Structure 1
Amino acid sequence: MSASRRTSTIGIIGTNTTLVCQYTDSITSKGTWFTESIFAYTTPCLMVLLILTFLASRLTHLLLTPLRQTTMISHIIAGVLLGPTFLFKNEALTSILFPPGGKVIFETLGNLGLIFHLFIMGVQVDSGQLHKTGRKAVAIGLTGLLFSGALGFAVHLVIIHIHHLESSTVPITYALIVIVNTMTSFIVVTKLLTDLKILNSELGRLAASSSMVCDCVTWVASMILMTVGKALQLSQWRPLVTAFAALSHYIILFFAFRPLVIWIGRHTPEGEPLNQNHFVAILSIVLLASFLGETVGQSATLSAFILGVSLPDGPPLGTALANRLETMASGILLPTYYMVCGLRAQPKSLVGKRSIWYLAFVDVAGHIGKFLGTLLPSLYFRISFRDSLSLSLIMCCKGIMELIIYTYWVDKKFIDNGIFTLLLFNMLGITGIATMIVSHLYDPSRRYRVNIRKNILDSNPNADLRILVCIHNEENVPPIINLIRATNPTRRHPISIIVLQLSELTGHVSSTLAPHHQRSKPSSNLKQSERIVNAFEYFEQHSQGHVIVQHFTAEAPYETMHVDVCTLAVDKRTNIVFLPFHKQWTIDGTVGAIFPSIRNINRIIMEEAPCSVAVLVDRSQISSKRSILMGHTLYSIGVFFLGGPDDREALAYSKRMAEHSNVSLTVVFFNWMSGCLSHNETEMILDSELIDEFKACVVGFKERIIYRNENVENGMETTKIICGMDDSFDLVLVGRHHSPGSPVLSGLTEWSECPELGLIGDMLANSDFSFSVLVVQQQSPGAKSLHAPKHHHKPTDRNADSRIYPFLEDESDQVRIQLMS
């Protein structure tokens, strides 16, 4: 049988109705040797369509990446370009690559991916955050909604009054467009913020909270309008029946399907992957919910989304489902849906139809209303004009939720392909332009850029030392606590610790930075999180009141996690940030685990932090000495001083350690040739002043302090001396950078494996040493000098107890952030 006879055919039945005829045995071909065209068969045709989808969408996204466009926009544009209007203008080629039978299956596959994608998006939404939304977010969300609706309806009424439109359905279409323009989808905004890498910024959290308020109101209005609008087209009594069926459907989702999915999720052991049988059972429930939605006249995708929203987000269920489903649903199947939407566009249908351009005015008016309705209240709340403008543009962006509504309207005959094309192009243009502007307009790092950066060297010796501690897992806790214990907190020199538990944003769509006790859900694992808190609280309780601890939790993508660290450091005016190294050692001295994501976070923090930064390379579990600072054995600490601001910061920090009764401190000065610490005269003066000051301050503890002067000519001699001290210390302090061009480092650059630790720090961290290493970096203090020999401090009330309010001293110039919108 010839291929022409086996090709699917189409015919027109009635008004705007197309019938596709397909042979039942045209699934797989027998090969090119036995058929005239393999495109007459469904399976090879579907394969070619998928290949075209992946290639075209990825290539388009690659070309649009410099313009900071989202993947959704790139995929839709690829579909438009592959459509019959542009690349495939030849009808014969279009009929081969996009036959009616293959296109139906392709669209079905895309809708299946959309169902699972919306379900995952729903699972990741924390609906409990709605009642925690702040006054600012509620006002901005509602004002934007009202302005958009008011201006859209005003333009709609003016056009209807002035022009006598022929079609009686146009006024209903106007109303539908006005309602959708009031919408700002929460999952669309959070996806956009993630793509722009500002999800956990101050503006990003405000935008997410505002969109959640707007989303809840407009979704209810949209569902009611679509249900009633469809029912009114059928008969007089059908609206009540359809509305009752829809309500019953969602009640079944919440009171039957939701408990069933949660019950299945509870059978998954904590920290274990989702069982295969449980995973298949949940997918079956999702498909059943979508099927029931189609049965009662509701959208299958909307049913899956609402089922997902009703489920608890985050671990264990939300994270497990996202890990199992996201790659297949969002990475493979969803682009086919975007491609189908792009292929539906018919730009030629926009020519010569005045009514469509009237709708364009209504659509643009709704966006203008949304923009003004967000901009004005933002300025009222004293948000800067730059940030208010960025927020207004973000709230005007549309995405997958609006696209679903547009395609639903086309399928249900609310609108035709011409109006769909207009709405699609408006969405692409407005969202694409807004994305580009926001990416260049808003920089979250401006929030923590300060003129004067905090450090230890220039801090008030009579004030509390403020340390921000970053914790990724339980293994980070013991070495950090031992390090703080070695810092010797006393009544005269108390320490304020801000513990920030960092966890990757998985199973959620909104980031969090909040005090630990205010979090709505655990950041990753509740038991691990509580054990970390308990460890620091135990340390605080046994510190005789010399240590005050505050706990914070941050959930964010690894790419932007540094924003939370730097923001909290500015807010709490910390002197130094402690970061764990990205490698962990086993007891036999081998590297047990490597975390590249933690390394990237450390790199960015060291570049952008508003205060000093220290990276702790912990080898305490393999050290031959097991000093714990609480017994009779001295905890041996070494300071390698080669000169420069970072070494001076390390020496200033060691001065606090020198006062500890169980600490033995050795300061090793590496001098060049004739005894000079540095070949730079200015740096040499600053180094000498600090050394003299250090010796004067620790004169009372000189029996536990050793000074060594090592004269070297090059980096080889420096390395040889350091290697000879392997068994001499439990902990070594060293600066990240040293005096530029110093001869004592010559020849070491080619050995660098971790440049973020500096030359000496890299050598100590990646060699076979048994001691722990603390690599210290002093951020440039801006207007202040690198070293202040004399401190001009305010008078201190000796009768006041500085332990009670360690975070309230001298904060008149500090603008505090609102951690939760």
Structure 2
Amino acid sequence: MSSLGKIRHHLIGPVICANVTGQYAFIGSVDDPFRRNYPVFMRQFICITFAYLTIRLILRPLRQPRFVCSILAGIAVNAIIRGDYKYFVTIPKEELMLARTVGALGTTYLLFLTSVKADITAIHRTMRSASIIGSSSVLMPFVMTALVAHKLTLPGMKTPAAQPMFIIGLSLTRFPNVVHAFNELNMTTSDLGQLAVSCSVVSEAIVWLFMFLGAYVIKPSFLLYTVLTSAAFLLLIFGIVRPVIMLIIEKVPERKPVSEIYISSILVVALVMAALTDMIGSINFGVMMLGLVIPNGPPLGATLSEKIELVTLEILMPMFYVVIGFNIDVSLVDWKVSREILLIVLMNTLLKIVGALVAALCCKLRLQHSVLLGLMLGIKGPYDVYLLNRWLVQDIDRKAYTVTVLSQVAITAVLTPLIDVFYNPHRRLSESVRKSRRSMQTHPSNVELRILCCIHSEDDVPGIISLLEASNPTGASPICAYAVHLNELVGRATPFIVPYNRQMRRTPSKISFHIMRALDNYSTNSNHLVKVKPYMAIAAYKTMHEYICRLAQDELVPLIVLPFHGSQEMSNATKAVALRNLAEKIQAYAPCTIGTLVDTGMHHRTNKSTTFSCRVGVIFVGGSDDREALALAFRMVGRPNVRVTVVHIIVQDVGKDIDEIMQEKIDNGLIEVFRAKADADPCSTYRQVVVEDSEQAMGEIQGLKNKFSLVLVGQKRGTGTVFPEETMLNWSDNPELGVIGDLVASSDFRGETTSVLVMHHHGDPKVPFRDPSMERERDYLLRRSVC
């Protein structure tokens, strides 16, 4: 061949021609297996993607998970390909080799991805319960099923060791399956979901125990080989790989992306680790350990997740389900012969649920949660099928394989909707909120005040510190600030909230370090009148409110302070919307009062050369939210260099119902208490303003412009129709702040020196605060109104 001909051959390649029968002919290397198999592979990929999307759309009302839809899509595609369609010719096994290779690569990277997202420290909180429940959910079904299977001869078992291995595989709860399913159900943030994940980790530990035990049973000398090679591999992981990974993380600049070279190298190393541990007998061990030693979350864990998750789930894994569907042949199954396998699978699942139920009850879980936990641990997933797929060649035949896979799909198709329907992760939170609500009004003045401060960025810290300083911490009533740095979940499977000192050692963050150092310095400079307890929360914005509300509930916090999403310039509109939704969910589920801080200039009042000074104004119209603002102002009275002014706006000639009359009585009682306290403090003043309508009230509020460095105001009113919020909020830029809150938080009112704290009571603003002294009078008014 001439030089020009060689160039043409390499650049253009073979020309593919198709005849009318759908067969492909290659001009060039006709016998090249890749060129013969590639068109089949492309047809498989197109068909499995289209089938999955169609089945997912059809089964969406039934709340079926990705695993069930993918298996059904694989079965449907291979049924079509095996049919008498001229376009889809029968696929020889050798032409399935490319799909097998891609599918195996997909399962390997899916396990690596799941391990990177895993949070081992989440087990510590529930270690005792997870150990008991996880062990019971594995050992009980294994022992009972083995006793029953001992008297049966399971069809399709090719070797004597196949039957016990088959029962062990059914009894295990695989960690990747649980995490994969819970991500779809959005349950990893719930207490019960985290307990189930911890139980699955215990089950994974039992896997390795069975592996060593099996090596000893096969040949005692294998046990020494397995132990030594496993120890050598762990030494490689923790002695060489992990230090290199930590060095890579240290070299990544803050808020900068990880280099593509590092990402590509780690993905290649994952395959190398899988190949090394495949020599031991477990290809999963190397990939899992490599994923676990990578610090999850940003920068490295988050980047790995972003890079490989979409490719793994949407491109590589579909080919795995093509292979599964190819190995399943319903026409070969004789249900009369295979009923023993079906019986074993169903009995094993029921025993797993019962084992988890009994152990959970022993750990003092509620009966409903115990049953749901058993259902969660009974979920099957891709790694159960992956294990069966590896056994198919030597240990079990195709009939047993088909019955087992179909039964596991049926079990998951039943359990997943049941869990999704009957378990509400917000139920525990909402029930606890109703039982233990707290507010600034009911908080005693002679005990420690606990405030939960949410922090998004370093810009939120000065305003938080100034608010804490203005809240008048004293020896008799110090302040304990729970400072929670909120980080968006990017590269984790298990969201968490932990004290910062523990998390600092695992995922170092310069931003968190600067925030916590500033708060710690303030605590030291306040002579420890303000005690700071730093926390770090990593979760998705849509579920972050659960962690914040539970921390407030567990620590009996009466006030949560949120930075307003519009306080700083935000170029990311998506993040601004997410923060707004987060604030709304916190207000809906919080067990205490919420204060939204619109910070612009209050922190400019303090510096190292001057003492703290602040002019606080309270706009009081009436209602539970305004009373919360006034209750916080109570604490500020008496603080040196802090002047507190309450502007009480009274609206004449407004018709009120019984509840509004009671609200007014409570308002007047609280005002009298403040006036008595303000008379003893020359820096505190009280002023009444009488108005006739909302327009005149708004004018009076506008007159307060530039007179205060901090304005306290309630979110909603309880004074009849003088502030028709349903109508006025339609014209507001930030309706979540309320009518008056939106007015004083506007740039025209605040300018560059005024900050605003908008208070929201945890209950319905229409429901007045009840105290025993008012109940008899309210009952009397109700009887009188009936007459």
Q: 1:388 aligns with which of 370, 381, 397?
A: 370
Structure 2: distance between partners of 1:454 and 1:200: 24
Indicate the residue corresponding to 1:661 in structure 2.
640
In terms of mean alpha carbon deviation, does 366-375 or 326-335 score higher?
326-335
Does 1:437 find its partner at 2:418? yes
Alpha carbons 2:122, 2:494 under 8 Å: kept: no
Per-residue Cα deviation, 1:13-52 (whole angstroms, up to 9, x for no partner):
xxxxxxxxx9456988xxxxxxxxxxx8835x55554344
Check conservation: 2:498, 2:537, Cα contact below 8 A.
Answer: yes
SS in 1 for 2:482: strand
- Look up the match of 1:91: 84
Paired position in structure 2 for 1:42: 38
Q: Distance in 1 between matches of 2:653 and 2:222?
A: 96
Q: Secondary structure at the match of 1:444?
A: coil
Q: Look up the equivalent residue of 1:157 and give its one-letter code.
A: H
- 1:639 pairs with 2:618: yes
Aligned to 1:7: 23
Q: What's the offset of the Cα at 1:545? A: 4.2
| Matches of 2:290 and 2:510, distance apart in 1 | 28
Are residues 168 and 676 of structure 1, via their aligned partners in 2, closer, same or farther at CA, if it must alter by over 3 Å?
Answer: closer
CA-to-aligned-CA distance 1:62-90 (integer Å, 9 cap, x gap): 44444443322332233233341xx6774
- Say which of 483, 490, 510 aligns to 1:499: 483
What is the DSSP-based 3-state SS (H/G/I as helix, E as strand, rest coil) of the residue aligned with 1:549?
Answer: strand
2:185 match: 196
Are 1:499 and 1:549, in contact at CA under 8 Å, matched by a contact in 2?
yes
Shift of 1:121: 1.9
- Checking the alignment, whether the CA contact within 8 Å between 1:630 and 1:662 is kept in structure 2 is no
Query: Which residue of 147, 150, 153 corresponds with 1:154?
Result: 147
Counterpart for residue 488 of structure 1: 472
Alpha-carbon spacing, 1:558–1:703, altered in 2? closer, same or farther (3 Å): closer
Deviation of the 1:306 alpha carbon: 3.8
Q: Which residue of 2 aligns with 1:213?
A: 202
- Distance change (3 Å), C-alpha of 1:396 and 1:458: same
- Give, in whole Å, the separation in 2 of the partners of 1:677 and 1:701: 34
Could you tell which deviates more after superposition, 118-127 or 653-662? 118-127
- Aligned partners of 2:488 and 2:538 also within 8 Å: yes
Q: Is the 8 A contact 2:156 2:399 kept in 1?
A: no
1:390 shift after superposition: 1.2
Task: Select which of 150, 160, 169 maps to 1:180.
Answer: 169
Q: Distance in 1 between matches of 2:320 and 2:639?
A: 65
Residue from 537, 545, 561 that aligns with 2:544: 561
| Structure 2 counterparts to residues 247-258 of structure 1, below 5 A | 250=233, 254=237
SS at 2:167 equivalent: helix
Q: CA deviation at 1:374?
A: 1.2
- Aligned partner of 1:696 in structure 2 is 676
Separation (CA, whole Å) in 1 of partners of 2:86 and 2:677: 85
Deviation at 1:483, TM superposition (A): 0.5
Q: Secondary structure at the match of 2:723?
A: helix
Q: Secondary structure at the match of 1:669?
A: strand
Say how many residue pairs are matched: 747
Could you report, residue by residue, the CA deviation over 1:515-557 in whole angstroms, capped at 9, with x for unpaired residues?
Answer: 33444844x5433333333333322233334333333333333
Map of 1:114-153 to 2, 5 A cutoff? 114-126=107-119, 134-153=127-146
Gaps of 5+ in 1: 10-21, 29-39, 792-821
Shift of 1:644: 1.5
Distance 1:572 1:167 in 2: 57
1:700: Cα distance to partner? 1.6
Structure 2 Cα separation of the partners of residues 618 and 97 of structure 1: 69
Superposition deviation, residue 147 in structure 1:
0.4
1:717 and 1:96 mapped to 2: Cα distance? Answer: 82
RMSD (Å) for aligned C-alpha atoms: 3.9
Q: How does 1:759-798 map to 2 (within 5 A)?
A: 759-765=739-745, 767-768=747-748, 769-770=750-751, 771-780=754-763, 786-788=769-771
Which is helix-richer, 1 or 2? 2
Partner of 2:708: 729
Q: 3-state SS of the aligned residue for 1:554? A: strand
TM-superposition CA deviations, 1:414-464 (whole Å, max 9, x none): 223322222222222222322222223333333332324100112222222
Aligned partner of 2:685 in structure 1 is 705
Equivalence for 2:12: none
1:531 matched to 2:521: no
Residue of structure 2 aligned with 1:74, choices 53, 69, 76 = 69
Q: Match of 1:509, SS?
A: coil
Contact 2:624 2:765 survives alignment (8 Å): no
- Give the Cα separation in 2 of the matches to 1:546 and 1:238: 65
CA distance in 1, matches of 2:769, 2:124: 48
Partner of 2:777: none
Residue 420 of structure 1 pairs with residue 406 of structure 2: no
Larger mean CA deviation between 113-122 and 301-310 belongs to 301-310
- Describe the SS at the equivalent of 1:492: coil
Letter in 2 for 1:397: I
User: Counterparts of 1:521 and 1:389 in 2: how far apart (Å)?
Assistant: 37
Secondary structure of 2:647's partner? strand
- Give CA-to-partner distance per residue, 1:712-761, whole Å, 9 cap, x none: 523x5544544444322222222122127522346412124444332333
CA offsets 1:144-170 (integer angstroms, 9 cap, x no match):
22102101101111213xxxx776626
Q: 3-state SS of the aligned residue for 1:668?
A: strand
- What is aligned with 1:818? none
Alignment of 1:344-383 (within 5 A): 344-352=327-335, 354=337, 356-383=338-365
Identify the residue that residue 7 of structure 2 maps to in structure 1.
none
Residue 325 (structure 1) aligns with: 308
- In 2, Cα distance between the equivalents of 1:168 and 1:56? 32
Match of 1:550 among 530, 533, 537: 533
Counterpart Cα distance in 2 of 1:594 and 1:767: 22
Partner of 2:103: 110
Give the superposition deviation at 1:206. 2.0
Residue 257 (structure 1) shift: 5.5
How far apart are the structure 2 equivalents of 1:505 and 1:585? 22
Q: Distance in 1 between matches of 2:264 and 2:366?
A: 50
Residue 416 of structure 1 aligns to which amino acid in structure 2? D
Between stretches 590-599 and 751-760, larger displacement belongs to: 590-599
- 1:19 matched to which residue of 2? none
Separation of aligned partners in 2, 1:319 and 1:195: 19
Given that 1:468 and 1:497 are in contact with CA atoms closer than 8 Å, whether structure 2 keeps it comes out as: yes
Matched residue SS, 1:159: coil
C-alpha contact 2:710 2:756 (8 A) present in aligned 1: yes
Query: Structure 1 residue 610: deviation in Å?
Result: 1.0
Alpha-carbon distance in 2 for matches of 1:482, 1:779: 24
Residue of structure 2 aligned with 1:307, choices 290, 294, 314: 290
Alpha-carbon contact 1:180-1:218 (below 8 Å) kept: no
Matched, 1:619 2:591: no
How high is the TM-score relative to the length of structure 1?
0.81
Structure 2 distance, partners of 1:429, 1:697, is 69
Partner of 2:721: 742
Aligned to 1:814: none
CA contact (8 A) 2:171 2:352 kept: yes
TM-score, reference length from structure 2: 0.84
CA pair 54-145 structure 1, distance change in 2 beyond 3 A:
same
Structure 2 equivalent of residue 681 of structure 1: 661
- After superposition, what is the alpha-carbon deviation per residue over 1:154-192, rounded to whole angstroms, capped at 9, x for unaligned? 1111213xxxx7766265332122111221122322333
Greater mean deviation of Cα atoms: 650-659 or 298-307? 298-307
Asked if the contact 1:137–1:206 (Cα under 8 Å) also holds between the matched residues in 2, the reply is yes
Superposed CA deviations along residues 78-120 of structure 1, whole A, max 9, x for unmatched, are 3233341xx6774216725978777543443333333222222
Question: SS of the counterpart of 1:748?
Answer: helix
Residue 597 of structure 1 corresponds to 578
Work out whether residues 644 and 684 of structure 2, in 8 Å CA contact, stay in contact via their aligned partners in 1: yes
Residue 414 of structure 1 aligns to a residue whose secondary structure is coil
